[in-house]
Amino acid sequence: MSNTSLEQKKFAMSNLKQYGMMIALFLIYIIFLVLSDGKNAAPMNINNLVMQNSYVVILSIGMLLCCLTANVDLSVGSVVAFCGAAAAIMVVDYHISIPTTFAVVLVMGVLVGMWQGFFIAVLKVPPFIVTLANMLVFRGLTMVILNGQTKGPLPQGFTQVGAGYMPQIFTQIGGTKVELLAIVAGIFVSAVFVLLEMRSRKNKIKHSFAVPPIWQPIIKLAVIIAVLNFITIKLALYMGLPLVLLIMLILILIYSFITNNTVAGRQVYAVGGNVNAARLSGINTDKVMFWVYTNMGFLSALAGIVLAARNASATPKAGDSFELDAIAACYIGGAAVQGGSGTISGAVIGALVMGILNNGMSLIGWSVDIQRVVKGLVLLAAVTVDLYNKRKNS
């Protein structure tokens, strides 16, 4: 076989690996579809699946940047609880307006991230130690400001963020009540995916870059479009598009652009790939670490607002183990343990895997303890496969 054929085969196989987690996500869903007698395909359950996992998706986006630097943030669950508690206290006890509350809490999240970034980037304390310490600090502060009690109920204007819906236009189709905007959104986003894929392939061919066989992107698009419209149709049969879904989509687009198309994003990959080489090439590695953890604080605050809105209250135990779900989502989604490799889309898919596992196991009545065992085994398997593939290809 010629060298060209070998290179093409290797390129095709590398692209197939990118679709592996999408296939796994689909298979996991089908397994629980059978085990739950179709309960996980009910419109209400699809709606709950989106809302219940919104904060994990938000956290996994920020956590991916930490993982790209070959580190993690263990404090995110505690920061989520702290920021959610602060928001609830401001609205319920001090009657501060909701927009002002949201702005203040987001700034608080940035300050928390800067606090951690200072120890990591300036004082050179390992991120694991800094975030472990702050996991304890902010969990304790949450207990203090809430006095160990639940704060709520929160007003409707607040809860709309986590439990509200985008504008709705209902109609009757064949005797069934359907929300039209959700259907239109599914068709529109599907068309956007097709156009972006065609544009990307055209540009790669134009600049003589290797491209996968045409059947690969066709299959990928077919799966994405099928899944996307399955979700939007199910949402249309319930209450339409959750507002938090829009928040997630905006974050995914913004951070995908940052990681793929900006200098700052490429610097994060460089630091994770080889910090010494990055430093010698002129990258301010301390600045990169500082903004990565500052950003994580901001997204933790946002997740705290969404969680409090979803629950219509703030509790001392809110965000418990969220850091583990976010970290697992990144590694299950293909982030490398050594850093320098991973994508926003992969982290989101990993978060969906975790969400479907949680949802499916709850529907079939498995205990929380068994659920933890399964999630732990899935994470262990994902990391083991990643390390095995790297050793095999090295």
Q: What is the pLDDT along the chain (394 residues), one digit of tens a residue?
A: 444 454 455 555 545 555 677 778 888 899 999 999 999 999 999 999 999 899 999 999 999 999 999 999 999 999 999 999 999 999 999 999 999 999 999 999 999 999 999 999 999 999 999 999 999 999 999 999 999 999 999 999 999 999 999 999 999 888 889 999 999 999 999 998 899 888 888 887 888 877 778 887 888 788 888 888 999 999 999 999 999 999 999 999 999 999 988 999 999 999 999 999 999 999 999 999 999 999 999 999 999 999 999 999 999 999 998 999 999 999 988 888 889 988 998 899 899 888 999 999 999 999 888 988 988 888 888 788 777 776 776 6
pTM of the model: 0.91
- The sign of the dihedral angle between the CA atoms of 326, 73, 255, 214 is negative
Neighbours of 44 (CB within 10 A): 12
Give me 178's structure tokens: 């359907």
Q: Please tell me what DSSP assigns to residue 149.
A: S
Identify the three-state secondary structure at position 151: strand
Domains in the chain, start-ordered, CATH in brackets? 3-23+55-164+243-354+364-393 (1.10.3470), 165-241 (no CATH)
Rounded distance, CA 170 to CA 241, Å? Answer: 12
Task: Please name the residues in contact with 302: beta carbons below 8 A apart, sequence gap of 6 or more.
Answer: 58, 106, 109, 247
CB 314 within 8 A of CB 150: yes
Rounded distance, CA 347 to CA 325, Å? Answer: 11
Task: Please name the residues in contact with 90: beta carbons below 8 A apart, sequence gap of 6 or more.
Answer: 96, 101, 104, 105
DSSP structure string for 297-338:
HHHHHHHHHHHHHHHTSB-TTTTTTHHHHHHHHHHHTT--TT
CB 116 within 8 A of CB 323: no
Q: What is the pLDDT of residues 347-357, one digit of tens each?
A: 998 998 889 99
DSSP strands (E only) in 60-206: 170-173, 176-179
Rounded distance, CA 158 to CA 87, Å? Answer: 9
